[in-house]
Structure 1
Amino acid sequence: MDKTRLALIGVGMIGKRHLKAMRDVEEAELAALVDHGSRSFRACQRMVGALL
């Protein structure tokens, strides 16, 4: 089965929760992470890097 590719737009407090939840869904794959360059975005980049 192909994975569903998801984009996470906005990685504030709720966005980080969504990112953590996506890690638990085997059928989902993060395709894009978008934000305006906040500290939260950099923290999520590190989280995504840990997933690769």
Structure 2
Amino acid sequence: EDPKLNTKDYLEKRVGELHALTPGELARLGKEAKVKNESEEEKEIDKIREEYKVQ
């Protein structure tokens, strides 16, 4: 989410954290991320619809 975090050190640390999780925890994180992404996408679509006055 934050472009400043796209450093080699941070990403390697994050990979290690994710690698330590169980498959169930990874699945849960994936589902949460998917829901959040869909929510953000809907907000963007609503913004575009409002801007162009379409339903």
TM-score with structure 1 length normalisation?
Answer: 0.34
Name the structure where helix makes up a greater proportion of residues: 2
TM-score with structure 2 length normalisation?
Answer: 0.33
